[in-house]
Amino acid sequence: MTDRLTIRRPDDWHVHLRDGAMLAHVAPYTARQFARAIVMPNLSPPVTTVAEGRAYRERIVAAIPAALDFTPLIVAYLTDGTDAEEMARGHAEGVFTAAKLYPAHATTGSAHGVTDVANIMGVLERMADIGMPLLIHGEVTDHDVDIFDREALFIDRTLAPLVARLPELKIVFEHITTAEAAQFVADAPANVAATITPQHLHINRNAMLVGGIRPHAYCLPVAKREHHRLAVRAAATSGSPKFFLGTDSAPHAVHTKEAPCGCAGIFNAPFALESYIAAFDEDGALDRFEGFASEHGPRFYGLPLNQGTITLERGATVVPDRIGDVVPFHAGETLGWRIV
Ligand code: OTD
Ligand code: ZN
Ligand code: ZN
């Protein structure tokens, strides 16, 4: 039995670090575990211009102790009015690593998102030309579509046609939660990949709804049925280079989640690696953990692999009930691995 695992330093390819006091509170947790992170731009107002991206990067760097050696990778938030030239300039100047497509009103902070992909086709063509990845929150937003069906329907209505229309575009299908999404990505060409969160490896929709309503298990895309969790987990542990780590850590103050209309988002950053490795261990896939956490992401993005290593070992990690004003994922549980 493997009791200790040393892997190349990992990256988080999807995180919400927020701004202001929340940024200062949460960013060090991500920087302690990861060398780099794709930082999502759904601030209010969102990060849409090169100047805003540069300024946000400076605020993140200022929030993290220099000793932690962490590089935030900034993402542009696409709107119906995004200018292709601004995206290309941001990418060329090393400010924007990628751009994010939020269908309008799909998730937290997506009110300024894109109402129809046709509106940004020129931007996407330009991104395909320059090799700038498109990151997608893949859910349809129609009120008449059941929330548990929104991801699968997005594939048929938007993603499959987009992949066919722009076969060169690098696309990351973010935080996949369904068997349909895992299958689509596995079958797609090499320029289509997906991130997978720790919560979607560990919980199904019962975690939210059985024995009482549990707001801290609520995030978007919402956790689905057990067979979807198993399919997502099989994808994560498959060793396929198309699947990589993206926590989607999304902190909200406790009173905004424990409310009549609670916010979506799970704060998993403080114990993300301990959570992921538990799933790989349960599935007998520890030998595939390094690929998922540290290799598949940078290869897909065309970035260098990190130097340096991190070691995890079997041993108790007690997850506290609260971290500041935020309830973390696995609150009150003891995980079976710890960082050395
Ligand atoms: N999902 N919450 C948030 C973002 C994500 O869709 C996402 O990426 C958030 O609070 O920013 C959430 O549930
Ligand atoms: Zn999202
Ligand atoms: Zn997210």
Residues 6+ away with beta carbon under 8 Å from 146 = none
Q: Does ligand 1 lie within 6 Å of residue 249's CB atom?
A: no
Whole-number Å distance, alpha carbon 174 to ligand 3 midpoint, is 8
Q: Tell me the domains of the chain and their CATH numbers.
A: 12-305 (3.20.20.140)
Write the burial class of residue 23 (CB in 10 Å: 0-12 exposed, 13-18 middle, 19+ buried).
buried
pLDDT value, residue 182: 99
- Token pair 């549980």 is at which residue? 333
Ligand index nearest the alpha carbon of residue 247: 3
- What pLDDT does residue 106 have? 81
Rg from Cα positions in the chain: 19
CA of 5 to the centre of ligand 3 (A): 28
Ligand 1 probe mutation, 101, 108, 205, 249, most atoms within 8 A of CB: 108
Q: How far is the CA of 175 from the centre of ligand 2 (A)?
A: 7
Measured from the Cα of 137, ligand 1's closest atom is 6
* Ligand 1 atom index nearest CA of 42: 11
pLDDT value of position 1: 83
- 109 Cβ closer than 6 Å to some ligand 1 atom: yes
- Among all ligands shown, which has an atom nearest to the Cα of 13? 3
Tokens representing 312 are 């995890």
- The whole-number pLDDT of residue 107 equals 83
Share of the chain above pLDDT 70, in %: 100
The rounded distance, in Å, linking the Cα atoms of 138 and 326 is: 26
Residues with CB under 5 A from ligand 3 (ion): 248
CA-16 nearest atom, ligand 1: 11
| The pair of three-digit structure tokens given for residue 244, joined into one six-digit string | 């990589």
Closest ligand 1 atom to residue 266 Cα is: 13
Catalytic residue among 69, 80, 156, 248: 248
What is the reported pLDDT for 216? Answer: 98
Dist. CA 247 → ligand 3 center (Å): 8
pLDDT tens profile 45-73: 999 999 999 999 999 999 999 999 999 99
151 Cβ closer than 6 Å to some ligand 1 atom: no
Ligand 1 neighbourhood includes 248 CB (under 6 angstroms)? yes
Query: Which of 77, 139, 203, 220 has the most ligand 1 atoms within 8 A of CB, as the residue to mutate?
Result: 220
Local mean pLDDT, 10-residue blocks, the chain (340 residues):
96 98 98 98 96 98 95 98 98 98 88 94 98 98 96 98 98 98 98 98 98 98 98 98 98 98 98 98 98 98 98 98 98 98
pTM for the model stands at 0.98
User: Tell me: the pLDDT tens digits for 150-163?
Assistant: 999 999 999 999 99
248 carries an active-site annotation: yes
